[in-house]
Chain A
Amino acid sequence: EPEVTQTPSHQVTQMGQEVILRCVPISNHLYFYWYRQILGQKVEFLVSFYNNEISEKSEIFDDQFSVERPDGSNFTLKIRSTKLEDSAMYFCASSHDRGATEAFFGQGTRLTVV
């Protein structure tokens, strides 16, 4: 069964550093998403991406965040100048249809900012 894959599984970074989280969505999916989950809390939407551009972003997705699809398979989330409160599990998801219908999640990247 096709899966969304994310790398790395765990990233530790110093406050103020930049990190790039990587995702390979399911190959025939057209819509890509990043979500985050702070430990013990609910999953929160960050951004959606379609046709090589952001289609929607939440209030959380401020100027320190950016997304990119640098090639035909990868989808990345960059966090510039990380803060302690950026520590969370970041999930990539993809879906074939709009509206996050039948969205499949990756296994997540645990980001720890120290």
Chain B
Amino acid sequence: GENVEQHPSTLSVQEGDSAVIKCTYSDSASNYFPWYKQELGKRPQLIIDIRSNVGEKKDQRIAVTLNKTAKHFSLHITETQPEDSAVYFCAVYSGGGADGLTFGKGTHLIIQP
């Protein structure tokens, strides 16, 4: 099955700086890559996603890049703010007969004031 690795497990950045979280996946047939933000005790919220026919997608301060050849994708958050503090999960949809998402282990992003 699909294997998703996410790094780092914890990331601490100064407010206003950028944060980058990386994920790698194993199944080259994977074609959908969402990122979820989860605040403590709350539901995972979809913040951005990218499909395999696109290399980069941006939404205000958030961007995702995908390198299909290397099988990795990254979340970029610029001008970080205190409310960006949360756990971020990458996920992968492998297609074929699989309907569920395979999640990474999460990155705890801490924004230092």
Interface on A for B, CB 8 Å cutoff? Answer: 31, 33, 35, 41-48, 50, 55-56, 58, 91, 98-108
Contact = CB atoms under 8 A, between A and B. Distances in A.
Interface size class of B (residues with CB under 8 A): 20 to 34
B82 interface: no
Contacts of B49: 101-102
With most chain B CB atoms within 10 A of its CB, the pick from A35, A41, A45, A104 is: A45
Contacts of B44: 43, 91, 105
B95 interface: yes
B113 interface: no
Contact of B106 (A33, A42, A46, A91): A42
Contacts, number: 68
B99 interface: yes
Given A101-B32, A102-B49, A107-B43, A42 B103 contact: yes
B89 A43 contact: yes
Given A42-B89, A48-B100, A99 B42 contact: no
Interface majority SS (helix, strand, loop, mixed), chain A? strand
Contacts of A56: 97-100
Given A33-B99, A43-B103, A102 B46 contact: yes
A57 to B, nearest CB: 9
A42 B89 CA distance: 8
Contact of A98 (B43, B99, B101, B104): B99
A107 B46 contact: no
Given A103-B46, A106-B43, A108-B43, A58 B100 contact: yes
